[in-house]
Amino acid sequence: MKTKILRLTMGLMAITSLFLTSCSSDDGGTDPGEEATCSDGKMNGDETGIDCGGSCTACEDTNLTGSLTEDRTLDASKTYTLTTTFSIESGATLTIPAGTKIIADVESGDETSTYIVVQKGAKINIQGTSSNPVEMTSENESAGDWGGLVIAGNATTTEGSDATAEVGQIKYGGSTDTDNSGSISYLIIRYAGAQINPDSQYNGLTLYAVGSGTTINNVALIDGKDDGVEFFGGTVSASNFYLENNEDDAVDWTEGWSGTLTNTYVVHTVDGFSTAVEADGENGNPTLANFTAVSTVGGTALQFKKTSGATITGLSLAGYDTTVDMKDDGPLANVQIDGADANPELSYIATPTVDIERFAWVNSSTTAETSILTGSLTSELTLDAEIKYFLDSTFSVEAGGKLIIPAGTEIVADVENGDETSTYIVVQKGGQIDIQGTESSPVIMTSANENPGDWGGLVIAGKATTTEGTDATAEIGQIKYGGSDDTDNSGSIKYLVIKYAGAQINPDSQYNGLSLYAVGSGTTIDNVALIDGKDDGVEFFGGTVSASNFYLENNEDDAVDWTEGWNGTLTNTYVIHTVDGFSTAVEADGENGNPTLANFTAVSTVGGTALQFKKTSGATITGLSLAGYDTTVDMKDNGPLANVQLDGADADPALPYIATPTVDIAAFAWVNSETEIETSVLSGSLSTDLTLDADITYYLAETLSVESGATLTIPAGTSIIADVESGDETSTYIVVQKGAKIDIQGTEASPVVMTSSNEAPGDWGGLVIAGNATTTEGTDATAEVGQIKYGGTVDTDNSGSISYLIIRYAGAQINPDSQYNGLTLYAVGSGTTIENVAMIDGKDDGVEFFGGTVSVSNFYFENNDDDAIDWTEGWSGTLTNAYVLHTNAGFSTAVEADGSNNNPKLVNLTAVSTQDGTALQFKKTSGATITNLYLEGYATLVDMKDSGPLANVQIDGADATVAGPYNSGTKVDITLFDWATGN
């Protein structure tokens, strides 16, 4: 014994000496010749060369691994590393003080063997605080890096006693429902959820049959690869759980868990997760008390498999596509939500039942806040643009209250079926709204279902005058409006988009996108878009308010509506109709307060009525541009047209009011609409190739000249409208210069149309083509119009191709001797293709050939005031299949030929007149060879104006005769031109 005591003494001296520098020899080895000893089982300076545990904290091992069989308390001043499984065995307790950090440092492939497990009979005591939570995370900071925290208890589970877990062969389950596995408070677990196989995974916190004696509160589970928390049976209850972006389920349970989870906040901002809650197996009827879940990426909120269920109180969901999913058609009665069977049709949007500020201790940088707007606002409230707001019933800004909505704020009406008419925002008399949208960040009010009529839109009631008097009652919501203060101020609106409004109360009463009841002139409304409403875009019920920059797209009733004597001004309005069945672009009703529309552009691709005035209503409209409407002005109750002043004159329902758009649609780029009806102005010189867009309505403002080397391509269905001020008719035309080309690609179903805004003969100069073929005028002759140069020596010259073209209202008059035609062909060569062309209602000729060699086919002429077909300067081509119709008196001829005779050919020519007149007229020595001629209704059949020889005119193989009768030929089938006549 003495020898042994001596050695201990010597050991003490040796350790004391080493301790002055380090504790390194505590963990291995002894000095040469010394035996490792430990006298008292504690590292307190009485041992030699061996680590006995105990009081030498400087020497504590920070690598958590293996099995813990005795109680241990970690040191919050140290960072611990987890490299493999760390198992707290039965009888041992691991205590983790506030502020402790544990980092899983895992080699690739070791993820599933790296976790902390509290075995049956063991305990964990996590002592975090709100200011110093305990944190378990990973070195790589990637989801699925490690297996998280696993606790196995002795409570009941449907798997029985000593069930084997799907992870780590851990044993769990028994019969002690009050089992105590310890205590957890203020714990953050990140990047857990290692994947064993497609069917087995770790979670952030895994609770196997944990009993009710265990205390778990204030836990955050973030960025896990699998579930945030999963309960496998057990009776444990927990509270204050924050779950963010766990890739599978936030909260999961199975095997008959029967505890309670109180105050849970789930956040999903990353696509691809499974659910906020997944329940499986038998129904132990656990309770979720106050459960708030928010998604910015849709997805499923609550999913119940097999016969699982729960009792849920204080449920608040926002942003999920699916609220309740009974995966295996289990009974909805198993899931009780706020006292009723679960209903997958309900949104369960409500004011959040858990305050996100409760989890400020987590210090998450992820924000996905939502809020519910409902009830009455009696004071000032400023919304937060970072929060998505949900409107689930009426939100009323009361007198004295003010709602401020910053730029970029989004308000979503989330409406249950049947609640559409009770879901709207109303600013009552004496209340104010301040919408502070910007061009780059407009305020958006929309609906969750994205269907027209989903909700009631924005309603503002003011104190200005209305023909209904003071404190009138609105047709909606019993709202009171109207007074005597025409300068009343209900606030300000800037850059606002309203979608899917217009809820229907009954066939006679509806909400609109924006309803303005007696709103006063002190109110500012500027840059508003009203889209896809079931009823009107905006309706003014009396009042004096003025507004500007309105964009209205596919509102199913009227775009702009007013009644009750509104007398403000609406400036810069753009209306689009691309869906059938709407009512009007403008509807006005009641007494005429003579409001003003300044710069009003409306475009329809589906016809319909543009402006409708009921009773004695009217307006002063300047800068009107309509396109595509069947009816431009409708005085529904035969009110006086003088009440409607359009650009300084009484309204005229016969006029089309087509004009260059007075409002540039580009001004509404901030709306980000996917609907495109563009318009464009054509003028100037084209020196490079250009292809028009059939979806755009083009306006010809002056001469458009296609220069040598360039090609103008016009696809099927394109519409070009000559929009001409009085006096500019002769400078408004399209010319294809020598060396240039035109490619008109119309089809029978979709011809290209060139027309005029006024729809009057002579409005514009038509289409002019100048070529390089021969003409009796020589090379580089100068045309009678536009100083155009034409003519050369290339009879095969190619100026392009024309197919299925309609030209209307051309023939502008330069002087008594010079005019434009519908189609004017100057020395056009035989390489040019022209077929299926209709010239209608021209002031001068339908087509005129000035020399050239071009041949054409399938021409239709209707009521051209001078000649239908005219040629001069030695044209030598062929015209095949021509039909001429004269039903208006005063025309000149069906055919006029002049100058030298180069013997052009007309094959299959039919001309019909109901007004007598002259059919064929030949001047000077001109002539032609005509085959299959049919004339009907003309007083003069053949007129040799200058007594030229009849032999120059060969008709069906014989010299022409003045007497004819030329009615035995085969008529050209007029149905060949149904594409042009609309038959």
Q: Is the pLDDT of residue 14 over 70?
A: no
Of the two residues 189 and 728, the one the predictor is more confident about is: 189
Backbone phi, then psi, for 667, in 5-degree steps?
Answer: -65, -15
Confidence of residue 340 (pLDDT cuts 50, 70, 90): very high
- Determine the Cα–Cα distance for residues 791 and 779; give it in Å rounded to an integer: 5
What pLDDT is stored for residue 702 in this prediction? 85
What is the overall mean pLDDT for the chain? 91
What pLDDT is stored for residue 463 in this prediction? 98
The CATH number assigned to the domain with range 725-739+750-980 reads 2.160.20
In this structure, the strands spanning 619-627 and 260-268 are: unpaired
- Residues 769-779 have pLDDT tens digits of 999 999 999 99
What pLDDT is stored for residue 369 in this prediction? 66
Confidence of residue 974 (pLDDT cuts 50, 70, 90): very high
Total length of the chain: 983
* Of the candidates 511, 389, 535, the residue with the CA atom closest to the CA atom of residue 460: 511
Contact criterion met (CB below 8 Å) for 103 and 138? yes
pTM: 0.63
- Determine the Cα–Cα distance for residues 873 and 925; give it in Å rounded to an integer: 11
In this structure, the strands spanning 878-886 and 905-913 are: parallel
Which residues contact residue 360 at a Cβ distance below 8 angstroms, ignoring those fewer than 6 apart? 130
Least confident of 354-358, 368-372, 948-952: 368-372
What pLDDT is stored for residue 558 in this prediction? 97
Amino acid letter, 573? T
Q: Is the pLDDT of residue 1 over 60?
A: no
Segment 804-816 shows an average pLDDT of: 93
- Determine the Cα–Cα distance for residues 90 and 121; give it in Å rounded to an integer: 4
- Residues 896-912 have pLDDT tens digits of 999 999 999 999 999 99
Instruction: Give the DSSP H/E element, type plus range, for residue 808.
Output: strand 800-808
What pLDDT is stored for residue 493 in this prediction? 98
What pLDDT is stored for residue 60 in this prediction? 59
- In 707-765, DSSP assigns E strands to 711-715, 719-722, 734-736, 741-745, 752-756
Q: Is the pLDDT of residue 370 over 80?
A: no
Handedness of CA 522, 526, 528, 534 (dihedral sign): positive
Contact criterion met (CB below 8 Å) for 844 and 792? no
Least confident of 630-634, 700-704, 918-922, 953-957: 700-704
What pLDDT is stored for residue 182 in this prediction? 98
Residue percentage of the chain with pLDDT more than 90:
80
What pLDDT is stored for residue 368 in this prediction? 73
Contact criterion met (CB below 8 Å) for 348 and 301? yes
Of the two residues 701 and 541, the one the predictor is more confident about is: 541
What pLDDT is stored for residue 672 in this prediction? 92
Q: Is the pLDDT of residue 18 over 60?
A: no
Segment 444-472 shows an average pLDDT of: 96
Residue percentage of the chain with pLDDT more than 70:
94
Segment 600-616 shows an average pLDDT of: 94
In this structure, the strands spanning 491-499 and 524-531 are: parallel
Confidence of residue 15 (pLDDT cuts 50, 70, 90): very low
What pLDDT is stored for residue 510 in this prediction? 87
Q: Is the pLDDT of residue 357 over 50?
A: yes
Q: Looking at the DSSP assignment, which residues form a beta bridge with residue 928? A: 953
Segment 478-501 shows an average pLDDT of: 98
* Of the candidates 406, 435, 432, 461, the residue with the CA atom closest to the CA atom of residue 526: 435
Confidence of residue 10 (pLDDT cuts 50, 70, 90): very low
Least confident of 50-54, 200-204, 473-477, 804-808: 50-54
Segment 52-61 shows an average pLDDT of: 50
Q: Is the pLDDT of residue 737 over 90?
A: yes
Backbone phi, then psi, for 332, in 5-degree steps?
Answer: -60, -25
Q: Is the pLDDT of residue 58 over 50?
A: no
Q: Is the pLDDT of residue 351 over 90?
A: no
Q: Is the pLDDT of residue 50 over 70?
A: no
Of the two residues 14 and 887, the one the predictor is more confident about is: 887
Segment 518-531 shows an average pLDDT of: 98
Q: Where along the chain do its domains lie?
A: 2-58, 96-236, 246-255+263-363, 369-545, 570-672, 725-739+750-980
